[in-house]
Amino acid sequence: MQAKNADLRNLDAVAKRAGVSTATVSRVLNNLNMVKNSTRARVLRAAEELKYHPNLHARSLARGKSRTLGILVSNMENPFFFDIYRALESAAHARGYEVVVANTDYSSEQLVSSVRLMIGWRVAGLAAIVSEMDSHLMQMLTDSKIPIVFYDVGTPQKNITNVRVDYRKGMKKIVEYLHSLGHTRMAFLGHHSTLGPISERRKTFLETVARFSPNTEGQIVAAADGLEGGRQAARELLSSGFQPTAILCVNDFMAVGVLRHLRDQGIRVPEDVSVTGFDNIKLAEFCSPALTTVHIPRERIGQTIFGNLVPDQASDRLSGQEILIDPELVVRESTGVARQTQALENRQLSNSGLQPRC
């Protein structure tokens, strides 16, 4: 009478109604052979009639292992991360795995509690598409013995696979491309961060620009993340005295914010200044002007993560390895031949180091 779930039937109920034992029901439900067809039909009908749904907790508990993968994402709102998540999920579903995802919102506390949750759920594997990760958490993860694949966490760890994008290569391509268009004053807008993916872009920017020195100058502008951050950083940059021929943004969102500010100021892109993004999110194609950016193959990343999370018959599994994925340059409308800095001369005449033209 006071059954906790008076409303949900269990194996016993099905077994009784079909006139068999729970073992047989279980066999039917798990598609094991060794069950007579007539029995199978009877059981299936009973389950159907009782609207039976197996209790997945009980199942996991009994099996002692699950086919559920955990995914940690810093920011699901970021279409870039989302695409990886989606690819990973499809790959998982295709192989009969379920997926639970936790959005950590860049919060360290949320991340910790999400990890606790995942461990508590005894997920079969964990994909970490997160940027914040301290050593204490790392310890917790390795202790848990759960297979883990990190996306883009800089420091390679023992026994943990790391899928990374070769951002250096991407950033190098952008700078070289802009250089070939005659750009000589490039600004890099990025959030102030020591995180691998970010600082790698920044460092490579500086290195590559340095290679073209002294004809080419580089400048770093710290910026908050997102559209608003880009807008704000553009404002700062333009009033800083550095007159860029090209503005390189650490990601597409920021670039769109920059475009917005430039438009507000009546500065034309790419005629007056070129702008580039990074990541190639969908928005990059639809903003105006469409953004020149670096495409990062999210689909492949997702699949690669899955492939390295789940043991496979004859897969490319490389445990404890670092796997590098190559990005590629996508040229659209927001970049063009450099026109020195004359477009900005109206705004910045005070700077005498440059000769206005036209």
User: What are the residues binding DNA (CB under 7 A)?
Assistant: 3-5, 8, 10-12, 19-24, 26-27, 29-30, 33-36, 38-40, 52-55, 58-59, 61-64
Q: Which does 260 bind (CB under 5 to 8 A by kind): a second copy, DNA, none?
A: a second copy
| Residue closer to a second copy, measured from CB, 286 or 349 | 286
* DSSP tally for the chain: helices H, then strands E: 13, 12
Site for a second copy, rule CB under 8 A:
4-5, 7-8, 51, 53-61, 64-65, 76-77, 79, 82, 86, 89, 98, 100-101, 103, 105, 116-117, 119-122, 140, 143-145, 227, 256-257, 259-260, 263, 282-283, 286-288
Distance of closest approach, residue 2 Cβ to DNA, in angstroms: 9
Distance of closest approach, residue 184 Cβ to a second copy, in angstroms: 28
Supply the DSSP string of 4-67, one letter for each residue. TTTTS--HHHHHHHHTS-HHHHHHHHTT-SSS-HHHHHHHHHHHHHHT----HHHHHHHHS---
Q: Kindly state the DSSP code that residue 319 receives in the 8-state scheme.
A: T
Q: For residues 18 and 14, what is the distance between their CA atoms, to the nearest angstrom?
A: 6
Q: For residues 246 and 268, what is the distance between their CA atoms, to the nearest angstrom?
A: 12
User: Distance between alpha carbon 195 and the CA centroid of its chain, in Å?
Assistant: 14
| Residue closer to DNA, measured from CB, 7 or 109 | 7
Q: Which does 288 bind (CB under 5 to 8 A by kind): DNA, a second copy, none?
A: a second copy
Distance of closest approach, residue 347 Cβ to a second copy, in angstroms: 20
Give, in degrees to the nearest 5, the angle at Cα 277 between 273 and 281.
140
| Residue closer to a second copy, measured from CB, 171 or 227 | 227
| Residue closer to DNA, measured from CB, 10 or 110 | 10
| Residue closer to DNA, measured from CB, 62 or 358 | 62
* Burial per residue of 106-134, b for 16 or more beta-carbon CB atoms within 10 angstroms, e otherwise: eeeebbbebbeebbeebbbbbbbbbbebe
Q: For residues 284 and 245, what is the distance between their CA atoms, to the nearest angstrom?
A: 20
Give, in degrees to the nearest 5, the angle at Cα 52 between 48 and 56.
140
Taking Cα atoms as reference points, which of 21, 23, 18, 19 lies closest to residue 44?
18
Distance of closest approach, residue 326 Cβ to a second copy, in angstroms: 25
Residue 129 three-state SS: strand
Q: For residues 79 and 298, what is the distance between their CA atoms, to the nearest angstrom?
A: 10
Q: Which does 117 bind (CB under 5 to 8 A by kind): a second copy, DNA, none?
A: a second copy
Distance of closest approach, residue 18 Cβ to DNA, in angstroms: 8
| Residue closer to DNA, measured from CB, 63 or 95 | 63
| Residue closer to DNA, measured from CB, 38 or 194 | 38
| Residue closer to DNA, measured from CB, 23 or 318 | 23
Distance of closest approach, residue 17 Cβ to a second copy, in angstroms: 16
Taking Cα atoms as reference points, which of 154, 172, 174, 173 lies closest to residue 162?
154
Q: Which does 119 bind (CB under 5 to 8 A by kind): a second copy, DNA, none?
A: a second copy
Exposed/middle/buried for residue 169 (C-beta within 10 Å: 0-12, 13-18, 19+): middle
Q: Which does 67 bind (CB under 5 to 8 A by kind): a second copy, DNA, none?
A: none
Distance of closest approach, residue 314 Cβ to DNA, in angstroms: 24
Match 């086919």 to its residue by tokens.
Answer: 67
Distance of closest approach, residue 175 Cβ to a second copy, in angstroms: 26
- Given a contact cutoff of 8 angstroms between Cβ atoms, the answer to whether 250 and 191 are in contact is yes
| Residue closer to DNA, measured from CB, 30 or 155 | 30
Q: Which does 21 bind (CB under 5 to 8 A by kind): a second copy, DNA, none?
A: DNA
Distance of closest approach, residue 209 Cβ to a second copy, in angstroms: 29
Element (H, E) at 219: strand 217-222
Q: Which does 23 bind (CB under 5 to 8 A by kind): a second copy, DNA, none?
A: DNA
